[in-house]
Structure 1
Amino acid sequence: MKWVHVRDNWPAFFEAITEKWPEADEVELEEIDGDQRAFIAYIAEISGQAPEEARDEIREWLAGEIPSDIIMDPIHDNHSIALSSKYVGEGEDEYDDDARFGDDGDERDD
C-alpha cells in the first residue's frame, strides 16, 4: 500500500496501527491526522527508535496489504463504480440499478 491510502483513510487505519504499535494512542493518532512526518516522529518517540529506524519500520508495514476493512469501507464503493463505467455501454448509467440485467428469476434454460 502507499501512504496516500493511509492518509486518505486515516481513522480507519487506527486499528491496524495500534495492532502493529500497541503503544500508539488513538487520541494522538487523531492529532497526527495522516501527516506522514508527524507519524514517523510519533512512532520513533513511542518505540524509542531513531526517526530513520521508525521510517524503515513504517515502510515495512506499508509493504503489506491494505486491511480488508479499509477496502470494504463504503466510501470506496462509488469510486469502484465510477471506474467500472468504462465497461458500461453508451447511454447506460453505471449508477443505475442492475436488477433488470442478468437471468435472476428467469425460468428458461439456455
Structure 2
Amino acid sequence: MLEGQALLDRARALSDRPEDQIARACGYVGPSGRVLKKSFYRALVAAKGYHLPTSPSGRGSGGGKGRQAEFRTRVHGNGNLLIGQAYTRRLGLEPGQEFRIEIHRDTGSIWLLPLEN
C-alpha cells in the first residue's frame, strides 16, 4: 500500500479514473479482493499532513468496528445457506472442524453440533 508522497502522486496521476480503480492501483485491496476504501481515504488524509485520531482498537475514529455480524443471512439461489467468518470467528471455530446438523422443525431451528475427534 502506497503512503505519503508516493500515494499522492499515484492518486493524482489516476484522478480521471473511478475511486475504486485508484484505490486498487495504490494497493488498498484486502485478502478477499475487496477495496479497502476507508484505509485508502485515511492514508490520503495522512499524506496531506492531517493526522486523524484513532480509537483504542486502532481502527479509526468513526466508532465503527469494520464489518460486523448482522445476525442475518439468506438462502442463496443455489440453495446454500452461508454462515460467515464473523460468526465462526466469534465462536472460536477452526478450519476443518466438523459438525452434525440437527433440524428442529417444531421451532424452525438448525443446530450445529460439534463432532468429537
TM-score (norm 2): 0.31
TM-score (norm 1): 0.32
Structure number having the greater helix percentage:
1
Structure number having the greater strand percentage:
2
